[in-house]
């Protein structure tokens, strides 16, 4: 579903998303072209920010975003995946695992977050990173796959 890609009527976007079963705090800012694909539940706490061209692919697993989370442009969160199959079909048995982004995180532009991941509170994920495993709270991660660069000062 793509909700009002060119309009800036944030309260109206939140209302429409809620009618589609997506739970978004009314004080969350949604940029244009936010998409939710699939039948998993989505919950976003506020105040948070969802950037331009962000897509949540839920398959049948849930995506939970905490309070005070900033998600940069063109971020993709994908809960579904596949095991590696045999030589006749490499995309083997499918899987769906939830994604949790804890309070106070900043997810940079064009980050890809895969299913089964929990990102700890106050973590920063640098632009272009691919998150395949759980990330500790209060840390900076970068790269493909995302690796810890350093711990951050703060209350996390």
pLDDT along the chain (156 residues), means of 10: 53 75 86 87 94 94 97 98 93 95 99 98 98 98 98 77
Residue 35 lies in a domain: yes
Q: Which residues are catalytic?
A: 82
Residue 2 lies in a domain: no
Of residues 118, 150, 155, 156, the one with CA closest to residue 137 = 156
> In the β-sheet with 106-107, what is the strand arrangement from edge to edge?
29-30, 49-50, 70-71, 106-107, 124-125, 139-142, 147-151
Residue 54 lies in a domain: yes
Cα 58 to its chain centre, rounded Å, is: 10
pLDDT at 7: 44
Question: Which CATH number is 107's domain given?
Answer: 2.160.10.10
Residue 137 lies in a domain: yes
pTM reported for the whole predicted model: 0.88
Residue 74 lies in a domain: yes
Q: Which domain holds residue 87?
A: 10-150
* Number of domains forming the structure of the chain: 1
Residue 3 lies in a domain: no
Of residues 63, 64, 30, 27, the one with CA closest to residue 46 = 27
């Amino acid at each position: 579903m793509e909700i009002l890609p060119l309009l800036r009527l944030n309260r109206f976007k939140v209302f429409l998303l809620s009618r589609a079963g997506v739970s978004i705090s009314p004080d969350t800012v949604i940029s244009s072209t936010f998409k939710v694909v699939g039948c998993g539940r989505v919950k976003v706490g506020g105040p948070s920010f969802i950037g331009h061209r962000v897509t949540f692919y839920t398959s049948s697993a849930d995506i939970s975003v905490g309070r005070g989370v900033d998600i940069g442009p063109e971020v993709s969160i994908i809960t579904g995946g596949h095991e590696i199959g045999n030589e006749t079909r490499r995309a083997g048995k499918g899987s769906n695992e939830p994604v949790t982004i804890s309070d106070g995180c900043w997810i940079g532009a064009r980050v890809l977050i895969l299913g089964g991941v929990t990102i700890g509170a106050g973590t920063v994920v640098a632009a272009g990173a691919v998150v395949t495993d759980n990330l500790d709270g209060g840390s900076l991660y970068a790269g493909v796959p995302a690796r810890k660069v350093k711990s951050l000062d703060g209350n996390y």
